[in-house]
Amino acid sequence: MAFVSQSQRAPNESYTFASRPRPVENRSKYREPPSEQTHSNYGNIMYDRRVVRGNTYAQLIIPTTAQPDPVEAQRQQESRRRAIARKRAREQFISSTPEALQGRKHIDVQTELYLEELSDVIVATDVECQTDAFLDKPATPLFIPAKSGKDVETQIEEGELFDFDREVQPVLEVLVGKTIEQSLEEVMEEEELACLRAQQRAFEELRNNELAEVLRLQEQERRHSEEKGRRIAQQKEVLKKEKETAEKIAARAYTQQYLSDLLPAVFTSLRSHGYFYDPVEKDIENNFFPWLMAEVNNSLEKRYTARELLDTIIHDVTQKRLKMFKELETQ
């Protein structure tokens, strides 16, 4: 174990010791220190006896004197002796009897004449002592650690966390925006309709205008054509009348001419047909002559009858003669 330490006495007789920090080697108490150096230069700090465990604020700081205090040493020896005694006492109670069998138990029994009560209860007397009633402890002063560092404070003013005007802006924008959008749509629609209507009206007016012109011209045409028709009809009438008159005149002239030598011809033909007659002559013709002819016929008939009679007689005679001649021939 090489000490790498420096200890020197300062001129004012205070001892200083300084060494490089070095892990502690584990060494068992009962073992001979190993000849060689241990390999591990360090050990587990949890099991290092030199490390102070537990609260440190109530422990006495070990004085830095090297010489052990004689009182201290004596006290330590005493405590050592007590520990050994205690240990011996404990060892006494560790019996060397074998363990009990299963189901059985070892019990200490007194085998002396007079039984004594063995009890762990030690006769004791109670002694009380009481401290005085608690005095009112004055209030512990507030532990205010010493002030260190800068003082800083902060305070939230009235309008800082929430500014209404700024917060309400988006909401207002949406509301106003939507309203304006809707109204713009409606206005645009109305404008569009108004434009359409105006255009329609202009078109209608022009159409009416042209329609009126068309109708007027139509009417004019109709009137003109009617007028023309009427005039043509009138002309036709006139022509027809003229023609008729001409025909009439021609007819009249012709008939006049025709009729002019009709009269003598008529008279001639009438006379030739016997319409102009002399009544005596007519009478003679009508009455006298038929009678005369009838008489003549009568007389002629008589003559014929006579002649026929004669013929018949002659015929009879000849027949008879013939018959007679024939009879003569046969005889």
Partner 1 sequence: MAGYLIDPSRAPVAFGRRAVPQLFEELQQPEADRRLRALASLCDLMHDPERIYQTVNGGFLEQLKVLFEDEDSSVRTKTCELLHLMTAHSIGRQALLSSSLLPSLSQLVDDSSSSCRRNVHRVLNRLTLLPAGADALLALVPKLMLKLRGEEDEEEEEEEVQVLLLSTLSSCSRLDALPALASDGVSLLGHKLSHRSPNIRREAAAVMMALSVCEDGKLKVCEESLLPVLVDLLHDEDIEVQANAAGVIMYTVIITTGKQQCLDLDVIPILLELVSKKEEEEEEKERKSRKALVMYSLRALTALAEAPDGRRLLLEQLPLLLRRSEAAEEDHDIRRDAQTAVRVINWRP
* Interface residue list for partner 1 (CB under 8 A): 182, 185-186, 189, 193, 196, 198, 200-202, 204-206, 208-209, 211-213, 215-216, 218-220, 223
Q: How is residue 36 annotated by DSSP? A: S
Q: Cα-Cα-Cα-Cα dihedral of 297, 298, 303, 305, to 10°?
A: 110
Q: How far apart are CA 135 and CA 132, in angstroms?
A: 8
* Residues in Cβ contact with 25 at an 8 Å cutoff, skipping those fewer than 6 apart: 38, 40, 41, 43
In this complex, which beta carbon is closest to partner 1, that of residue 184 or of residue 249?
A: 184
Residue (38 or 220) nearer to partner 1, CB = 220
Q: Is the dihedral of CA 48, 50, 54, 56 positive or negative?
A: negative
9: DSSP letter? E
What is the smallest separation between the CB atom of 161 and partner 1, expressed in angstroms? 26
**Smallest gap from residue 245 Cβ to partner 1 (A):** 30
CB nearer to partner 1: give 182 or 312.
182
**What are the residues facing 8 on neighbouring strands?**
16
Q: At a CB cut-off of 8 Å and minimum separation 6, what does 64 contact?
A: 15
- Which is nearer to partner 1, 227 or 311 (by Cβ)? 227
What span, in angstroms and rounded, lies between the C-alpha atoms of 304 and 291? Answer: 19
What is the longest distance spanned by two Cα atoms in the chain?
261
Question: Which CB sits closer to partner 1, 69 or 205?
Answer: 205
Contact 10, 16 (CB under 8 A): yes
Closest to partner 1 by CB, 186 vs 247, is 186
Hey, is 18 helix, strand or coil? strand
**Residue with Cβ nearer partner 1 (169 or 200):** 200
Q: Contact 19/4 with Cβ under 8 angstroms?
A: yes
Q: Supply the minimum distance, in Å, between the C-beta of residue 200 and partner 1.
A: 7
**Which one, 80 or 223, has the nearer CB to partner 1?**
223
Whole-number minimum distance, CB 139 to partner 1, in Å?
56
Shortest CB 180 distance to partner 1, Å: 13
**Which distant-in-sequence residues (6+ apart) come within 8 Å of 71 by Cβ?**
none
Least spacing, CB of residue 216 vs partner 1, in Å:
5
**Contacts of 87 by beta carbon, 8 Å cutoff, 6+ apart:** none
CA 103: distance to chain centroid? 90
